[in-house]
Amino acid sequence: MLHSFSLSYLDTFLTFQSAMPDVIDYIAFVFRNLQADTSRKKRIYEIRKGDCGYSLIHKGKILFNNFPLDTAIENIEISVELMTMSENRGIVFFHAGAVSDIDGSISLLFAGSGGGKTTLCSMLSQSGFHFEGDELLGISQEKPLTP
């Protein structure tokens, strides 16, 4: 039986599947701040455990193979970001955290690795702001920015 976890990233709806519920639980924890929005483009990824580690598969193609679970999750994040970037012309990408207010205005939070972007985004999302991301963010001209 395949277990799954779905999330939205930019304009893509992603579903991760695995026969191992603990792997899906781990992915759900890593991506806990992203919400599923089924109106977006759909992609399905499968995570398989092999003899030497974990693999990520999309449309029958192995995107990466035989990594420890922590490294596999990092590769999932990078793979998803790069695939999404390549499909979204006209979007500028930043390494930053971001939250939006009720009107949809986005505030970007710039800091180096370990600088507190994730913590600040989490605190702001608990205070009524909508979490937009805390790693690689795509911003188009349609959404106002608050630098």
pLDDT digits (tens, 9 = 90+) for 79-123: 666 666 656 556 666 678 888 888 888 888 887 777 888 889 889
Q: Which two tokens stand for residue 42?
A: 């759909």
Which pTM value belongs to this model? Answer: 0.43
User: Over 50: is that where the pLDDT of 146 sits?
Assistant: no
Highest mean pLDDT out of 46-60, 76-90, 132-146: 46-60
The DSSP letter of residue 72 is H
More confident residue, 37 or 60: 60
Per-residue model confidence (pLDDT) at position 124: 92
Per-residue model confidence (pLDDT) at position 34: 60
The DSSP letter of residue 51 is S
Q: Which two tokens stand for residue 119?
A: 């913590």
